[in-house]
Amino acid sequence: MFINYLCACATPRQVLIVTRHGIRTSLFPYPNDTAVWNCFKNNQFNFQSIYESHIKQEALKLHFNVKNIAPGSCYKGQLADQGYAQHENLHQIWKRLYPSIFTNTHQRSTNSHRTRQSLLGQLQSTNLIHVSTWTMDTAFLAENCKTDHRYWARVQSNYDFKQSELQKLQEKTNWKVGWNQFADNLRARYAMGTKFPEALNLADYQLILNVKDQLWCYVYQRHQNIEELTKYQKMAIGPFLQDLKDYINNKTVFKIVSGHDVVITALAGVLVEEWVCAQPDYASFMAFEIYGDVLKIRYRHSGEDEGVYVKQKACMQTECQVSDVIKFFEKYIITMQERMEL
């Protein structure tokens, strides 16, 4: 019955999309880096809050003094031109998949220059958007969350994540960081075409990515202590699931939430039965498509395609009743106050 209905209804009545920002520079500078990181034309954005639109121009004078952390024209975590192009490609995908509703767009971004710039690439225009502070953003755990840090540490201590190999990498680079930091730096270099450090090669890079992806998989879905895992999943994504529930119930036609890998991974770990259990790549996305009373999840883990429909835990199929999906959300939904108390 669902298949016949969906075939008769080519365009969903609602689409809610969560994207990861595009290719960016590393958040973790390599010590004594000599490679040149180049970022050129898309350094600026002029998104404006609703409140700022009512302020006299002369009343708002801001000056940003950003220090580059490596040779070149980039600052830490800046969206690269390649990353902006990835989101221009998403703009074309949205127009192709959802032509009749794409113009009825509501926008939201985390409080990050790279997510706002990525959203600009998707929209091809400047718009008023909703941006929360880091501490109040349901789509992002605050970086100073000690519970988050302790959970990651416990997972790393409970399983074999090649600690001896990590120590070898630390010794030959004289960089005492973990798998995530190594991966963040090298993945950005690879994507931007920036020279690798002389101490590391492609084999090291592949090892780092493999172990990091395994770590993310256990953190977000395969940790065997179910009580700990569920508590973390609620903390990571519970408040944002309430937002998704509200968007669905309020019949929001088309919503884009420009965010980070952590929100997409947390959503996949909770909602998706079969997926690439690893850190999503730059410009990955998850789209919630609603056709009548049926909801499908389109997921792109990497690449430049339109993504694929994935099997949902709510009904163990690719097509679920909206009511069943919302009921499944409610197993994990918590308030922001409850998140802070965790």
194's tokens: 């920036």
Strand-pair partners of 20: 259
Each residue of 15-24: pLDDT tens digit? 999 999 999 9
Each residue of 122-176: pLDDT tens digit? 987 656 688 888 778 999 888 778 999 999 999 999 999 999 999 999 999 999 9
Is 67 a residue whose pLDDT tops 90?
Answer: no
What pLDDT score was predicted for residue 80?
93
What pLDDT score was predicted for residue 127?
63
Is the residue at 165 inside a domain? no
Q: How many domains does the chain have?
A: 1
Contact between 6 and 245 under an 8 Å Cβ cutoff? The reply is: no
Nearest to 314 by CA among 305, 301, 323: 323
Q: How far apart are CA 260 and CA 115, in angstroms?
A: 8
Is 267 a residue whose pLDDT tops 80?
Answer: yes
Q: How many CA atoms lie within 13 A of 267 on its CB side?
A: 34
Residues 6+ apart with CB under 8 A from 26: 76, 77, 184, 185, 188, 189
Q: What percent of the chain has pLDDT over 90?
A: 71
Phi then psi dihedrals of residue 185, to 5 deg: -70, -45
Is the residue at 93 inside a domain? yes
Is the residue at 211 inside a domain? no
Q: How far apart are CA 327 and CA 303, in angstroms?
A: 32
Is the residue at 210 inside a domain? no
Each residue of 82-136: pLDDT tens digit? 999 999 999 999 999 999 898 777 889 998 889 988 998 898 765 668 888 877 8
Each residue of 277-331: pLDDT tens digit? 999 999 999 999 999 999 999 999 999 999 999 999 999 999 999 999 999 999 9
Strand-pair partners of 309: 298
DSSP labels for 49-63? -TTGGGS-GGG----
Nearest to 307 by CA among 284, 279, 289, 290: 284
Residues 6+ apart with CB under 8 A from 102: 94, 95, 254
The amino acid at residue 111 is N
Is the residue at 270 inside a domain? yes
Is the residue at 254 inside a domain? yes
Helices assigned H by DSSP within 98-201 = 113-123, 146-158, 163-173, 179-192
Is the residue at 102 inside a domain? yes
Q: What is the CATH number of the domain that holds 59?
A: 3.40.50.1240
Is the residue at 164 inside a domain? no
Q: What is the pTM of this model?
A: 0.90
Q: How far apart are CA 145 and CA 337, in angstroms?
A: 14
Q: How many CA atoms lie within 13 A of 62 on its CB side?
A: 6
**Containing domain of residue 234, as a range?**
2-146+226-341
